[in-house]
Amino acid sequence: MTRACDRVVKPFYAVEINRLAHELKRRGVDVIHMEVGQPSAGAPEAALQAAERAMRSDKLGYWESGALKERIARHYRESYRVEIEPERVILTPGASGALLLAFAVLLEAGDDVAMGRPGYPAYRNVLNALGMQPVELPCGAETRFQPTATMIEALDPAPAALIVASPANPTGTMLDRGELTALIDVCRRRSIALISDEIYHGISYGPAAVSALEIDSSSIVINSFSKYWCMTGWRLGWLIAPDELVGKMNSYAGNIFLTPSALSQHAALAAMDADEELSRHLETYGENRRVLMDALRRMGVTDLAPADGAFYVYANVEHLTDDSLGFCKQLLADTGVAFNTGLDFDPIEGGRTIRISFAVSRSETAEAVRRFSAWLEAR
Ligand SMILES: Cc1ncc(COP(=O)(O)O)c(C=O)c1O
């Protein structure tokens, strides 16, 4: 029997590279941060104003905002034509809190949970920490780096849950309505709980992402103010629970987190009406994506995941290195440009891939391209 303290939970390499980047910055180096998945813009102005007002007028105690739950329900009505009772919205400390809550409520120690590889590392690491078994499905370009219904059908025994993310981290690839429907169908048939991580919804460069709730109202959907709303450090997200799990989700959430940050809830309510400001960031990401992908191809880095959404380019650099961690560290030391190793997302093949976040300014993207290109040429 493994004791909890003996379980190996891997650190994030992105955090390690971020720490090195900050050290360089302290020494006066002009660092460009493209290693972490966070918008370089802060919260929308309306959110800042609401937070300032709340700090002066509210005690900021333990609190859950009914108005925010109603606003999130309205978001589903307006963006997806889905009716959600506000009670089904469980507010959490980020999508991270929502994932933990979903795992705690839906799963038992020892349960298998399927997910695509490459994928967001915390899925695997948190499941490991809780004594559950991540079942990683190798996903390549032929399935747009996403798991398919056929892969889930082939799993024997059936896992207790499947996690999907569309757009995904690190590839940005999306599941279209047909693919998501096929996954939901096989999950329903085999009694597999579907957890749909929709944290990158709102950030796509073609068709809008489909919510699992449009297809099946019993899906567990996770989202957050971190990405589209540019509020990573405010630590606020949500989970949409099926009716029959609302009571249990609330009991667990209350015990694990008490309530999410009161200040952030005030700010998030205002942020949800800041689409005009937020759409300007989307224009910047779209332009950065184009500039970066074109420049990488010109540099001979041509094997790129099709970034349908989110703000990442996941690039195969096997012709340059099989040690992408060392490669990223050297690039950072030599140029001040911080990229992330693919090892965070794919412990098996990630030594040959890198992830570049382009949620930065246009000028930072242009400068990063210039430095990376000169560095590659000099190598
Ligand atoms: C796919 C995915 N899910 C969840 C998270 C957690 O986000 P947060 O806890 O900031 O909402 C992230 C963060 O990068 C992510 O990329």
Q: For 79-138, what is each residue's pLDDT tens digit?
A: 999 999 999 999 999 999 999 999 999 999 999 999 999 999 999 999 999 999 999 999
For residue 308, give the amino acid letter.
D
Atom of ligand 1 nearest to the CA of 93: 9
Q: Which residues of the chain have pLDDT under 70?
A: 1-2, 4-5
Looking at residue 1, its pLDDT comes to 54
Q: Ligand 1 center to residue 135 CA distance, Å?
A: 20
- Ligand 1 close to Cβ of residue 209 (< 6 A): no
Taking the C-alpha atoms of residue 261 and residue 212, their distance in angstroms, rounded to an integer, is 27
Extract the tokens encoding 218: 């019993």
Looking at residue 91, its pLDDT comes to 98
Write the residue with the smallest CA distance to atom 13 of ligand 1.
37
Q: Ligand 1 center to residue 319 CA distance, Å?
A: 30
Identify the helix (H) or strand (E) that includes residue 312. Answer: strand 312-316
Domains of the chain by start residue, with CATH: 4-42+275-378 (3.40.640.10), 46-271 (3.40.640.10)
Atom of ligand 1 nearest to the CA of 95: 11
- Ligand 1 close to Cβ of residue 95 (< 6 A): yes
Q: Kindly list the distances between the CA atom of residue 276 and the CA atoms of 118, 286, 312, in Å, as whole numbers in the listed order.
A: 33, 16, 23
Contacts of residue 364, Cβ cutoff 8 Å, sequence gap at least 6: 32, 34, 40
- Ligand 1 close to Cβ of residue 119 (< 6 A): no
Write the residue with the smallest CA distance to atom 4 of ligand 1.
95
Taking the C-alpha atoms of residue 188 and residue 183, their distance in angstroms, rounded to an integer, is 9
Atom of ligand 1 nearest to the CA of 232: 10
- Ligand 1 close to Cβ of residue 35 (< 6 A): no
Q: For 26-42, what is each residue's pLDDT tens digit?
A: 999 999 999 999 999 99
Looking at residue 247, its pLDDT comes to 98
Q: Ligand 1 center to residue 20 CA distance, Å?
A: 22
- Ligand 1 probe mutation, 199, 238, 357, most atoms within 8 A of CB: 199
Residue pair 194/220 in contact (Cβ under 8 Å)? The answer is yes
- Ligand 1 close to Cβ of residue 197 (< 6 A): yes
Atom of ligand 1 nearest to the CA of 165: 1
Q: Ligand 1 center to residue 56 CA distance, Å?
A: 30
The pTM (predicted TM-score) of the whole model is 0.96
Write the residue with the smallest CA distance to atom 7 of ligand 1.
95
- Ligand 1 close to Cβ of residue 237 (< 6 A): yes
Taking the C-alpha atoms of residue 365 and residue 379, their distance in angstroms, rounded to an integer, is 21
- Ligand 1 probe mutation, 90, 226, 230, most atoms within 8 A of CB: 226
- Ligand 1 close to Cβ of residue 12 (< 6 A): no
Taking the C-alpha atoms of residue 197 and residue 361, their distance in angstroms, rounded to an integer, is 26
Q: Ligand 1 center to residue 92 CA distance, Å?
A: 12
Looking at residue 2, its pLDDT comes to 60
Q: Which residues of 342-362 are buried (b: 16+ CB within 10 A; e: fewer)?
A: bbbbbeebbbbbbbbbbbbee
Question: Nearest Cα to 353, choosing from 315, 313, 297?
Answer: 315
HSE, CB side, 13 Å, CA atoms: give it for residue 172.
28
